[in-house]
């Protein structure tokens, strides 16, 4: 399959999402988690852009990217395929037609699986950071939809408050309260409509486990040893099912490895890219 033209990825009336586009060389695309934006990748943007062209996206409804009109008109409804198409649209708008190295963190990983299903010929490699292939349990999905209703009524602070300490290793919470607080503020600043749309999309996301065996490109699987949201045993299952994977655990990190241990994450990414770019 050849790369999709712009009109196949977004309707003509919808703008491509906001991106940071920095550096030169093979293209590395960074897809953030929930409820965050490109700024969760600041350390990786700085380190990787010395050797690569780094495109960090604000997914629709987050950061500087508005939720698309079709989602707003449809009760803030998005699905993983919509987000994956928005990445393709961002690449089209940046005139990127060569295969890219896609890096997805957590919800960005769920979206990366959708991208791999829809646009397999646009991928050179895939890095999965603190994510999982399994869908939500029925109770988990129900909880997300309740939270989405609450966020629409009360604002994004609801998730920022509930999530902030779950995202980090114990040592980060104890020794780096400023990082926890800054991340909480970043989460609270996201639009309630965007946050609610992503909660619904995550609740409805398909099981990507059956797809893993057919992802026949180099893959890197990274996980924080103390990740309580997408724990190492989930990531090990993903790595074992991928035909060409490297699995790396990051010490003294919870879920938000990119901010907690940026040096380790950058080193893992740079050596993987050096081998495969």
∠ CA 44-49-101 to the nearest 5 degrees? 75
Q: Residue 8 or residue 157: which is nearer to ligand MLT going by CB?
A: 157
Smallest gap from residue 110 Cβ to ligand MLT (A):
7
Q: Going residue by residue from 162 to 201, which x/- string records binding to ligand MLT, judged by CB under 6 A? A: ----------------------------------------
CB nearer ligand MLT, residue 49 or residue 258: 258
Backbone angles phi, psi at 18, to 5 degrees: -65, 140
Q: Please state the closest distance from residue 253 (CB atom) to ligand MLT, in A.
A: 13
Nearer to ligand MLT, 106 or 208 (CB): 106
* Among 48, 80, 202, 238, interactor with ligand MLT by CB under 6 A: 202
Cβ partners under 8 Å of residue 274, min gap 6: none
Distance CA 232, CA 238 (A): 10
The DSSP output letter for 38 is: G
Least Cβ distance, residue 98 to ligand MLT (angstroms): 28
> In degrees, to the nearest 5, what angle opens at C-alpha 45 toward C-alphas 44 and 50?
100
Of 16, 107, 187, 215, the residue at the interface with ligand MLT (CB under 6 A) is: 107
Question: Which of 84, 229 has the CB closer to ligand MLT?
Answer: 229
Rounded to a whole number of angstroms, the minimum distance from the CB of residue 200 to ligand MLT is: 12
Question: What H or E segment, with its residue span, contains residue 126?
Answer: strand 123-129
Q: Between residues 34 and 115, which has the closer beta carbon with respect to ligand MLT?
A: 34
229-258: which residues touch ligand MLT (CB under 6 A)? 229
22 forms beta bridges with: 54
Number of residues that bind ligand MLT (CB under 6 A): 6
Q: What secondary structure does DSSP assign to 94-106, as a single string?
A: TT--S-EEEEEET
Give least dist CB 227 to ligand MLT, A.
Answer: 10
- Burial (CB count <10 Å: 0-12, 13-18, 19+), residue 156: buried
Can residue 40 be called a binding residue for ligand MLT (CB under 6 A)?
A: no
Binding mask of the shown chain, residues 17 to 36, with x at each position contacting ligand MLT by CB under 6 A: ----------------xx--
38: exposed, middle or buried (C-beta count within 10 Å: 0-12, 13-18, 19+)?
buried
Nearest to 255 by CA among 157, 170, 158: 170
Find the shortest distance in angstroms from Cβ 107 to ligand MLT.
3
* Positions in the binding site for ligand MLT (CB under 6 A): 33-34, 106-107, 202, 229
């Amino acid at each position: 399959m050849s790369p999709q033209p712009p009109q196949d990825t977004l309707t003509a009336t919808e703008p491509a999402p906001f991106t940071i586009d920095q550096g030169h060389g093979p293209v590395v695309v960074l897809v953030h988690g929930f409820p965050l934006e490109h700024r969760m990748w600041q350390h990786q943007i700085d380190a990787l852009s010395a050797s690569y062209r780094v495109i960090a996206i604000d997914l629709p409804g987050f950061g500087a990217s508005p939720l698309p009109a079709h989602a707003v008109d449809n009760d803030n409804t998005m699905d993983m395929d919509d987000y994956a198409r928005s990445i393709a649209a961002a690449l089209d708008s940046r005139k990127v037609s060569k295969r890219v190295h896609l890096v997805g963190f957590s919800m960005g990983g769920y979206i990366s699986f959708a991208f791999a299903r829809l646009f397999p010929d646009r991928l050179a490699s895939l890095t999965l950071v603190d994510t999982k292939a399994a869908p939500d349990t029925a109770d988990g999905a129900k909880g997300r939809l309740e939270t989405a209703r609450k966020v629409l009524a009360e604002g994004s602070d609801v998730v920022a408050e509930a999530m902030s300490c779950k995202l980090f290793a114990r040592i980060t919470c104890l020794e780096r309260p400023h990082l926890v607080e800054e991340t909480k503020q970043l989460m609270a600043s996201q639009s309630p409509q965007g946050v609610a749309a992503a909660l619904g999309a995550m609740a409805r996301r398909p099981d990507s486990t059956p797809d893993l065996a057919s992802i026949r490109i180099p893959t890197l699987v990274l996980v924080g040893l103390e990740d309580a949201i997408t724990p190492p045993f989930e990531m090990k299952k993903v790595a074992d099912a991928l035909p060409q994977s490297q699995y790396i655990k990051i010490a003294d990190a919870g879920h938000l490895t990119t901010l907690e241990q940026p040096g380790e994450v950058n080193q893992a990414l740079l050596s993987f890219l050096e081998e495969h770019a």
